[in-house]
A and B are shown apart, each in its own frame.
Chain A
Amino acid sequence: MFVVLVAVLVSAPVVAVVLNGFVASGELSVPRGLPTMVLTTLGLMLGVGVGTLVVGGGLAWLVTAHRFPLRDVLVWLLVLPLAMPAYILGFVFLSTFDVAGPVQQGLRAVLGDGFRVPEVRSLPGAIVVMSLSLYPYVYLMARAALLEQSPATYDAARSLGAGRARTFWRVILPLARPSLAAGLALVMMETLTDFATVQYFGVQTVSVGVYLVWKGSFDFNSATQLSVLVLMFAVAVLAGERLLRGRARYHQHGGRGRGLQPRSLTGWRGAAATTTCLLALAAGFFVPVVRLLGWAVGEALRDPGSFVDPRFVDYLANSLAVAGIVAVGCVLLALVMSHAVRLGGGRSVRAAAQLTTFGYAVPGAVVGIGVLLAFAWADRVLEAVGVPGGTGLLVTGSVLGILYAYLVRFLAPAYQAVDASFGKVQPSMTMSAMSLGASPMRILRQVHLPLARPGVAVALVLVTIDAIKELPIVLLLRPFGFTTVSVWVFQLAGENFWEKAALPALVIVGAATVPVFLLFRQVRAADRPSRAAPLIAEMAETTGRSGR
Chain B
Amino acid sequence: MRRPAALAGAVLALTATLSGCGFLGIGGEEPGDIQVYSARHYDLEEAFLDFEKDTGLTVDFIYGDDAELLERLKAEGEDSPADLFVTVDAGSLWNAAEQDLFAPVDSPVLTDAIPAAYRDSEGRWVGLALRARTVAYNPDNVDPTEFDPKETYAGLTDPKWQGRLCMRDSTEAYTQSLVAGLIDLYGRERTLEIVQGWIDNDVQIMSNDILLLEALDSGACDVAIVNHYYYARELDEKPDLNVELFWASQDGAGTHVNVSGGGVVASSDASAQAQRLLEWLATDGQEEFVGDNHEYPVNPAVEPDALVAAFGDFKPMPINAEAYGALNAEAVDLLAEAGYE
User: CB distance A95 to B25 under 8 Å?
Assistant: no
- The interface size of chain A toward B, counting residues with CB under 8 Å, comes to 80
Min Cβ gap A96→B in Å is 11
Determine if B57 is an interface residue (Cβ-Cβ < 8 Å). Answer: no
User: CB distance B18 to A98 under 8 Å?
Assistant: no
Q: Please, what's the 1-or-0 string for B17-47, where 1 marks a CB less than 8 Å from any CB in chain A?
A: 0110011111011011001000001100000
Given contacts A321-B12, A369-B71, A396-B76, contact A216 B171 (CB under 8 A): yes
User: CB distance A215 to B28 under 8 Å?
Assistant: no
Given contacts A400-B24, A496-B209, contact A215 B66 (CB under 8 A): yes
Determine if B207 is an interface residue (Cβ-Cβ < 8 Å). Answer: yes
User: CB distance B63 to A491 under 8 Å?
Assistant: yes
User: CB distance A202 to B169 under 8 Å?
Assistant: yes
B337: chain A residues at CB < 8 Å are 32
Determine if B77 is an interface residue (Cβ-Cβ < 8 Å). Answer: yes
Q: Which of A153-161, A217-225, A244-252, A342-350 contacts B (4 or more CB under 8 A)?
A: A217-225
Q: Which of A268-276, A277-285, A477-485 contacts B (4 or more CB under 8 A)?
A: A477-485
Chain A: which residue is nearest B71 at the CB level? A369
Interface size for chain B: under 10, 10 to 19, 20 to 34, or 35 or more residues? 35 or more
Min Cβ gap A335→B in Å is 11
Min Cβ gap A525→B in Å is 8
Contacting B at CB under 8 A, from A89-143, are 90-91, 94-95, 98-101, 104-105, 121
Partner of A99, one of B31, B60, B215: B215
Determine if A365 is an interface residue (Cβ-Cβ < 8 Å). Answer: yes
User: CB distance B95 to A476 under 8 Å?
Assistant: no
Determine if A381 is an interface residue (Cβ-Cβ < 8 Å). Answer: no
**Secondary structure dominating the interface of A:** helix
Contacting B at CB under 8 A, from A2-45, are 29, 31-33
User: CB distance A100 to B214 under 8 Å?
Assistant: yes
A104: chain B residues at CB < 8 Å are 220
User: CB distance A94 to B211 under 8 Å?
Assistant: yes
A216: chain B residues at CB < 8 Å are 171, 173, 176, 328-329, 331-332
In the complex the two chains form, what is the Cα distance from A62 to B331 in whole Å?
51
Q: Which of B3-11, B126-134, B244-252, B278-286 contacts A (4 or more CB under 8 A)?
A: B3-11
Chain B: which residue is nearest A223 at the CB level? B67
Partner of A397, one of B5, B25, B176: B25
Q: Which of A50-58, A179-187, A311-319, A533-541 contacts B (4 or more CB under 8 A)?
A: A311-319
User: CB distance A202 to B76 under 8 Å?
Assistant: no
A479: chain B residues at CB < 8 Å are 25, 28
In the complex the two chains form, what is the Cα distance from A368 to B66 in whole Å?
15
Determine if B81 is an interface residue (Cβ-Cβ < 8 Å). Answer: yes
Determine if A147 is an interface residue (Cβ-Cβ < 8 Å). Answer: no
Q: Please, what's the 1-or-0 string for A357-392, where 1 marks a CB less than 8 Å from any CB in chain B?
A: 000000001001100110110010000000000101
Chain B: which residue is nearest A16 at the CB level? B75
Partner of B68, one of A369, A390, A522: A369
Partner of A29, one of B64, B329, B341: B329
User: CB distance B76 to A32 under 8 Å?
Assistant: no
Determine if A231 is an interface residue (Cβ-Cβ < 8 Å). Answer: no
Determine if A460 is an interface residue (Cβ-Cβ < 8 Å). Answer: yes
Min Cβ gap A444→B in Å is 13
User: CB distance B76 to A393 under 8 Å?
Assistant: yes
Determine if B141 is an interface residue (Cβ-Cβ < 8 Å). Answer: no
User: CB distance A480 to B31 under 8 Å?
Assistant: yes
B336: chain A residues at CB < 8 Å are 31-33
A-B contact pairs, 19 of them (CB 8 A): A91-B208, A95-B210, A95-B214, A98-B215, A99-B218, A216-B331, A216-B332, A218-B91, A314-B19, A321-B15, A324-B12, A368-B68, A390-B79, A396-B81, A398-B25, A476-B71, A480-B35, A482-B23, A496-B210
Q: Enumerate the 3 nearest inter-chain pairs by beta-carbon distance, A residue then B residue, closest first.
A: A398-B25, A217-B329, A372-B75
Binding site for B on A (CB under 8 A): 29, 31-33, 90-91, 94-95, 98-101, 104-105, 121, 199-202, 204, 208, 211-220, 313-314, 317-318, 320-321, 324-325, 327-328, 365, 368-369, 372-373, 375-376, 379, 390, 392-393, 396-400, 449, 453, 456-457, 460, 472, 475-482, 487, 491, 494-496, 498, 518, 521-522
Additional pairs, 8, CB under 8 Å, beyond known A99-B204, A215-B173: A212-B332, A218-B325, A321-B23, A324-B12, A369-B71, A376-B75, A475-B64, A522-B4
